[in-house]
Amino acid sequence: MSKMISKPLVLTYFYLFIYILLSSGVILYNKWVLSPKYFNFPLPITLTMIHMGFSGLVAFLLVRVFKVVAPVKMTFEIYATCVIPISAFFASSLWFGNTAYLHISVAFIQMLKALMPVATFIMAVLCGTDKPRCDVFSNMVLVSVGVVISSYGEIHFNVVGTVYQVMGIFAEALRLVLTQVLLQKKGLTLNPITSLYYIAPCSFVFLSVPWLLLEKSSMEVSQIQFNFWIFFSNALCALALNFSIFLVIGRTGAVTIRVAGVLKDWILIALSTVIFPESMITRLNIIGYAIALCGVVMYNYIKVKDVRASQLPSESIPERISKDWKLEKKSSDIFIPNNSGSASDIDVDEETPLTQSTRLSHIGRSQVGNHGA
């Protein structure tokens, strides 16, 4: 029995469960905090700044005080040309994404997020990191059609919320592409702690500009309630999500991560309708999202197949399929970052500055033997 169910395999599925739980929890928690119908803290920029400030502080303590990880060799040129622009788009994506919670439901937001591969592929082509392809383009059209159908079936459709969410998606897509173009080409690899150490403070500074213009005047103690434990636990969940994604990436294959992401989306849509009764979903919502999801799954299959084909050129197709299956069943792989991945492979979650870039390297890395604990 112990041979059939190994400890590393159980640990891997435990990490996947924690990832799905935290990812869903952060989204639902943010919605609850921001929604005027519940906790009533309708200040998305302020909430995001709290997350960035907390994450930056924890990262500073881990890097400089407790020395859990060593800082990378960060020059002023790299910081100015890489960290600052990436932080700007990261801050924008969080600002726009969190603002969308004020206007549209969690379920509809998850459906709109199916556009992420479309946005990232467009940005990758514009930046020259990917090439236009008919098969990928057809999948992008399928995803777009599905999202349009889902939007048409939305009962509480809100133009402002939809625009904010789409803007957040494209800002995040551009950040992912810039991460690949700027950081990886310079040979700089950041883990979740060092990425927070450099990205979070810079994002905090960028967010302070729209905060001064849009939310500072609304910060009246008589109208806005502030509960320390609510915001502390909310920021802690967002920070824990970063680390859980890193653990999942280090122990699973690219296909497993995508399956977990799809499962998380469906669970989140179902949970949101229970926790927030006003967020109703229609049959047209589900049909449209299912169509979009088919396009996303087909796109992910194409990208994973391309990467593996480029890594194993001398093997026959049956041998390659057999090896892929065995590798995907393994509980963990060595993490060896390289530049062969594509930024458009990423499924994005909340409050994850550079964990997507880590996943990017994971998707593109050499698949090697099992070194589970």
Chain segment 301-315, per-residue pLDDT in tens: 888 888 777 766 544
Confidence of residue 192 (pLDDT cuts 50, 70, 90): confident
pLDDT at site 161: 96
For 117-136, what is each residue's pLDDT tens digit?
Answer: 999 999 999 988 888 989 89
For residues 141 and 312, which has the higher predicted lDDT (pLDDT)?
141
Residue 136 falls within a domain, yes or no? no
Residue 175 falls within a domain, yes or no? yes
pLDDT at site 279: 82
Confidence of residue 372 (pLDDT cuts 50, 70, 90): very low
Residue 349 falls within a domain, yes or no? no
Number of folded domains that form the chain: 1
Q: From CA 276, how far away is CA 108, in angstroms rounded?
A: 12
For 94-113, what is each residue's pLDDT tens digit?
Answer: 999 999 999 999 999 999 99
Does residue 71 surpass a pLDDT of 90? no
Residue 306 falls within a domain, yes or no? no
Q: CA angle, 139 as apex, 121 and 251 as ends, to 5°?
A: 65
Residue 42 falls within a domain, yes or no? yes
pLDDT at site 350: 52
For 6-61, what is each residue's pLDDT tens digit?
Answer: 788 888 888 889 999 999 999 999 999 999 889 989 999 999 999 999 999 999 99
For residues 312 and 155, which has the higher predicted lDDT (pLDDT)?
155
* Percent of the chain residues past pLDDT 70, beyond the cut: 80
Residue 38 falls within a domain, yes or no? yes
Q: Residue 212's domain spans which residues?
A: 7-129+158-217+225-251
Residue 122 falls within a domain, yes or no? yes
Residue 51 falls within a domain, yes or no? yes
The pTM (predicted TM-score) of the whole model is: 0.81
Confidence of residue 339 (pLDDT cuts 50, 70, 90): very low
